[in-house]
Chain A
Amino acid sequence: MRFLARYRHIITAIVTCLLFAFLVFMGVKSKDIKNVNLKSSVYAGNAFGTAIKKTLYAEDKSVLGKVSDDIDKELKDIENQISVRVADSEVTMLNRNYAPGGKYKLSDTLLSYLEEEMQLCEDTKGAFNPCIRPITNLWGIEDGETTIPSDESIQKALSYCDTDNMELCEDGIIFQEANMMIDFGATGKGLACDRVRKVLEASEAEGAVISIGGSICVYGDKGDNKPWHIGIQDPRGEDGDVLGIVDVDGTKTVSTSGDYEKYFEADGVRYHHIIDPDTGYPADSGLISVTVICENGLLSDGLATACFVMGLDEAMEYANNHEVDMIFVTQDKKVYVTDGLKKTFRLTAEGYTLEKYEKK
């Protein structure tokens, strides 16, 4: 105790310093808390045969359950309208009941989705095809098929996927040939993000991140006016492994398409679910993953698929011309980002390199 007495001035100094540090620490903490005064809840579920994760923020936590239910209801409505897995959806009925050469009447919402898809088809020179269903159905990779169809049957199915034989009019659609089909496999999750965003805008939620399969609706903020940190799936990692993190503001949808989502392997070749409308075979463009970030969810989802088919050079040109943010991963594990993401994307996975894109 004599020790204590002798050095009491030093001890006083140390204690004062510690208290000071403690106060500063608390001050910083409470400042954080003041900015982030929103409460959050996480909900998990499923729709369109894919996993849904909803992280919702609001001042009053008790409203979040209802917001989550409203989103589920909206997703169910969308599924009942556009899913080919629902026996009496508007899309199923169209595919089954249309008469070649005649007009089939469609609802305004479905027609507006198809108009957007046709525009995307034109903009991507056919890399996105709204009536590719006959060929994806033949492969059946999304439904767990693991056999390669004969080339003859592929060529035959391809002949039913010609967009020149599909025409939209004021209140309906005309297919010129029999056996044609549409589906929303490439845009459904993205357009669901658009619809969910409208539900969120009308709700008491202040911020939200809603993952619908490979598309993520980012909405509002956490009460701190800061962008969200969105993790992009590592295309060669385990499910949930992060390739990198991108800062995204609360108006965007982030969609990723890759060869890792649904595929089977035969003789060392990976047959994945993204079919090239030109060849009828899984796209072999050198890319293994494409992420598109933009305000229009349908567009981000559809573009992710189209750009995967186009390959790095063509997709990069598209991104620059249309000012859309994208992240590309090539087969040799090189990562390229568009100029808009250079400051906001951080590569975190090992084994990948972030490359500077040299214009070809």
Chain B
Amino acid sequence: MKKNKIKKADIVFALMIGMVVIFFWLCHWKAKNGSIVRITENGITTEYSLEKDREIHLKNNKTGGVNKIIIQDGKVYMEEASCKDQICVRHREIWKNREMIVCLPNSVFVEIVGGEEADIDN
């Protein structure tokens, strides 16, 4: 009776399993970490990772307008703004691709690029 020995094919199979696992893991990792928070103030654009918690303070040198943006637990929201209408502060938090918070009076645009697709097109 032939003894069960490791053959070349076994190693190939093992490697294949490993590759498939790594592929799916990579896909998952990319989807999770692909999101960027793009903040444009007066035409100047800065990008941040959505995954790293932080506070962003903006000051418009021309108008003196102030905005405080919070990135927390993979979501972004406008914590404070010096604008009169406060529409941006009332906006819900955003985290899906192409979602946006706008503070018109201070000309601040916060946009999500990449990541989970939004359910809606508008």
Residues of A within 8 A of B (CB): 1-2, 4-6, 8, 11-12, 14-15, 18-19, 22, 40, 42, 44, 46, 51, 53, 55, 144, 209, 211, 216, 228-231, 237-242, 245, 348
Contacts and interface: CB of A to CB of B under 8 A. Distances in A.
B121 A228 contact: yes
A55 B98 contact: yes
B91 interface: yes
B17 A44 contact: no
A211 B99 CA distance: 13
Contacts of A5: 4-7, 10
Would you call the interface of chain B mostly helix, strand, loop, or mixed?
mixed
Contacts of A230: 120-122
Given A15-B17, A51-B102, A230-B121, A6 B94 contact: no
Given A240-B92, A241-B92, A11 B13 contact: yes
A250 B82 CA distance: 38
Among B17, B91, B101, B121, find the residue whose CB has the most chain A CB atoms closer than 10 A: B121
Interface in B91-115: 91-92, 94, 98-102, 104, 109, 111
A18 to B, nearest CB: 5
Contacts of A19: 16, 20
A209 to B, nearest CB: 5
Given A229-B120, A240-B99, 14 more contacts: A8-B7, A11-B13, A11-B17, A15-B16, A18-B20, A42-B100, A144-B84, A209-B122, A230-B120, A231-B122, A237-B92, A239-B92, A240-B92, A348-B119
Given A144-B84, A230-B122, A22 B6 contact: no
Contacts of B87: 51, 239
B100 A44 contact: yes
Given A18-B20, A46-B104, A240 B91 contact: yes
B121 A51 contact: no
Nearest to A246: B120
B44 interface: no
Contact of A1 (B6, B17, B90, B111): B6
Given A2-B4, A239-B92, A240-B94, A15 B20 contact: yes
B9 interface: yes
Contacts of B23: 22
A211 B122 contact: yes
24 contacts: A1-B10, A5-B4, A5-B5, A8-B7, A11-B13, A15-B20, A19-B16, A22-B20, A40-B98, A42-B111, A44-B109, A44-B111, A51-B104, A53-B102, A55-B98, A231-B119, A231-B120, A239-B90, A239-B92, A240-B91, A240-B94, A240-B99, A242-B119, A348-B119
A4 B102 contact: no
B1 interface: no
A208 B102 CA distance: 19
Contacts of A44: 100, 102, 109, 111
A6 B6 CA distance: 9
A193 to B, nearest CB: 12
Interface in B21-71: 23
Contacts of A53: 100, 102, 122
B2 to A, nearest CB: 11
Given A42-B100, A46-B104, A12 B13 contact: yes
Nearest to B7: A5
B92 A4 contact: no
Contacts of B92: 237-241
A226 to B, nearest CB: 10
Contacts of B17: 11, 14-15, 18
B91 A239 contact: yes
Contacts of A209: 121-122
Nearest to A40: B98
B26 to A, nearest CB: 13
Contacts of A51: 87, 102, 104
Contact of A8 (B10, B101, B122): B10
B3 to A, nearest CB: 9
| Pairs A-B, 7 closest by C-beta atoms | A231-B120, A238-B92, A239-B91, A5-B4, A228-B121, A239-B90, A240-B92
Given A51-B102, A53-B100, A8 B121 contact: no
